[in-house]
Amino acid sequence: MTTVRLLLCSLVYLSSTNLHAFCGFYVAKADTKIFNQASKVVMVRDDDRTVLTLANDFQGDARDFAVVIPVPAVLEKDQIHVGENALIDHLDAYSAPRLVEYWDADPCTPPMPSMMMKQSAPTGGAADGERAEALGVKIEAQYTVGEYDIVILSAEQSNGLETWLRENGYKIPPGASNVLDSYIKQNLRFFVARVNLQEKEKLGFTYLRPLQMAYESSKFMLPIRLGTVNANGPQELFVFALSRQGRVETTNYRTVKLNSDLEVPLFVRDDFSHFYRSMFDRAVQREDMRVVFLEYAWDMGWCDPCAAEPLSNEELRKLGVFWIEDTESASAKAGINRAIPRPYAGTNVFITRFHLRYDSAHFPEDLAFQQTGDRTNFQGRYILRHPWTGEAKCEAARAYLKSLDARYRTEAENLASLTGWDIQEIYKKMNFQPTNGNKKWWQKIWQ
């Protein structure tokens, strides 16, 4: 224990050594820090069946990785699986806010609706069962799945659990005890995972793959409270909810649609990640950091425009969409080929992408969700309109060129309103000097 140096990373990577290279959607190199305290969770849910995927692009030493997640049931080995990062990247890219005619994979980082901890050295294997029992901690199950050693714990009280975790090389931050206690009393179990280095070496992966778990519970929620303990400022979380019936929404926080479908100046294309971050910052500020933002809600059979192609049935099934097989056989019977996305055709997988920034002051309780029957599509979409640049040879063209001034001004105002950027700076970047033509006489006086 003395050799163990532990650091809480919580839901997010707080250490600068853990910054991730963002892929996909964020194209510029300077943007790799965008939303770098972000986590990603995929929640597949129908009735009481849930499949959670916790994306993990932990970049540090694998020995330093550990995670504690409250789960509603004791999971059998078959219920735990190690997925592929590519699936989450694809899902992220597919659902990301987009510029019309532009797409790329995404930014963000990985998540865990829980607590992530680093440990400098593994203590080697599971804890002594007798010791655990003495502490009131019961090791319900122990598995090695893929490159992870997983222990499922139940506990009688948080003190025992804390001691057990400490003795096994995890450092629990002050304040976590209360939260653990609350989960224990709600009869939740604890899913504790860390990397089995030998297995990892054997498998040959240089990165950590996402953990997946399937369980049945009436609780449709995401525990975020452990992640806010000891957190260094607000954290970023992306939740991708896949359901059969329609949009998912939070029941204990407001879900607000991101501002969308606005025309913005052309230069945004070169700096879209910066734009997205500023826009999100401003939206969070406007709502006093008390709402969950809806970034995408769409039938997963198609997209328009596509930031990335829709996921194949195979990919969806790997993410845990357990009902997709039924559909395929039903589609096959009906002679429908779902592999070809058809606009408006509709499938039975609906995605809702949430984005929230949270801390314990503004998001005191865990996120609770419900399914709705709403299949209305929504996307974060921003429009670039290239002007026509020919020579004005007719009256209509002259009128058109004249109208551009007002359009540029609107675009600049949209951008300023969305991001809070200085409008003069925006004009400068646009290489546009608004004329005073449309201004009232008094607006010209004190310019």
Partner 1 sequence: MGSRHHKSVTVIVYRIALDSFRAPHVSDEAFDIASTISDKLAKSEAAPPSDAYSHSTLPDCRQWKLRLYTSSMAVMRQTLLRVDPRYFQIAALGALLFYGCSRLGFEIDALQITLTLTTAVAVQLLLASLTRTNSALDVRSALITGLSLCLLLRTNIIWCAVVAAAVAILSKFVFRFRGKHLFNPANIGLVTLLLAGPRVAWCSAGQWGSTIVLTFFLVCLGLLVVHRARRADISFAFLVGYALLLFGRSAWLGEPWTIPWHRLQSGALLLFAFFMISDPRSTPNSWVGRLIFAWLVVLGTGFVQFGLNRPNGLFFSLALVSFLVPLIDLLFPAVRYEWALATDTPGAANRSISPNPPTS
Interacting residues with partner 1 (CB under 8 A): 178, 181-182, 185-186, 217-220, 245-246, 249-257, 288, 290-291, 360-361, 364-365, 368, 370-376
User: Measured from the CB of residue 177, what is the shortest distance to partner 1 in angstroms?
Assistant: 9
Q: Map residue 284 onto helix, strand or coil.
A: helix
In terms of CB distance, is 85 or 371 closer to partner 1?
371
User: Measured from the CB of residue 378, what is the shortest distance to partner 1 in angstroms?
Assistant: 11
On the CB side of 136, how many CA atoms lie within 13 Å of its CA?
11
User: Measured from the CB of residue 10, what is the shortest distance to partner 1 in angstroms?
Assistant: 17
User: Measured from the CB of residue 253, what is the shortest distance to partner 1 in angstroms?
Assistant: 6
- Distance (Å, rounded) from C-alpha 18 to C-alpha 132? 32
Residues 6 or more apart whose Cβ sits within 8 Å of residue 24: 89, 92, 93, 96, 104, 105, 106, 107, 308
DSSP E strands in 226-269: the ranges are: 235-243, 248-250, 254-257, 262-263
Chain-centre distance of CA 228, in angstroms?
16
Burial 400-430 (b: 16+ CB within 10 A, else e): eeeeeeeebbebbebbbebbebeeeebbebb
Q: Angle, nearest 10°, between helix axes 395-419 and 423-430?
A: 140
In terms of CB distance, is 220 or 272 closer to partner 1?
220
104: amino acid identity, one letter: D
397: amino acid identity, one letter: A
Q: What are the φ and ψ backbone dihedral angles of 47, each rounded to 5 degrees?
A: 55, -125
- Distance (Å, rounded) from C-alpha 265 to C-alpha 384? 6
For the chain, the maximum distance between any two Cα atoms, rounded to a whole number of angstroms, is 90
In terms of CB distance, is 360 or 410 closer to partner 1?
360
In terms of CB distance, is 244 or 277 closer to partner 1?
244
User: Measured from the CB of residue 179, what is the shortest distance to partner 1 in angstroms?
Assistant: 8
Q: What is the DSSP string of 194-237?
A: EE-HHHHHHHT-SSPPPEEEEEE-S--EE--HHHHTT-SS-EEE
User: Measured from the CB of residue 158, what is the shortest distance to partner 1 in angstroms?
Assistant: 8
**What DSSP designation does 259 have?**
P
Q: Are 154 and 164 in contact (CB under 8 A)?
A: no
Chain-centre distance of CA 82, in angstroms?
18
On the CB side of 93, how many CA atoms lie within 13 Å of its CA?
23
In terms of CB distance, is 168 or 327 closer to partner 1?
327
User: Measured from the CB of residue 186, what is the shortest distance to partner 1 in angstroms?
Assistant: 7
In terms of CB distance, is 245 or 417 closer to partner 1?
245
User: Measured from the CB of residue 251, what is the shortest distance to partner 1 in angstroms?
Assistant: 5
In terms of CB distance, is 216 or 425 closer to partner 1?
216
In terms of CB distance, is 114 or 250 closer to partner 1?
250
User: Measured from the CB of residue 183, what is the shortest distance to partner 1 in angstroms?
Assistant: 9
In terms of CB distance, is 53 or 243 closer to partner 1?
243
CA distances from 307 to 16, 200, 243, 249, 269 (A): 30, 33, 21, 23, 14
In terms of CB distance, is 65 or 183 closer to partner 1?
183
Residues 6 or more apart whose Cβ sits within 8 Å of residue 70: 114, 183, 188, 189, 190, 191, 223, 226
In terms of CB distance, is 106 or 366 closer to partner 1?
366
User: Measured from the CB of residue 425, what is the shortest distance to partner 1 in angstroms?
Assistant: 31
User: Measured from the CB of residue 47, what is the shortest distance to partner 1 in angstroms?
Assistant: 10
Residues 6 or more apart whose Cβ sits within 8 Å of residue 251: 368, 369, 370
User: Measured from the CB of residue 170, what is the shortest distance to partner 1 in angstroms?
Assistant: 20
In terms of CB distance, is 4 or 256 closer to partner 1?
256
Distance in Å from the first CA to the final CA of the chain? 68
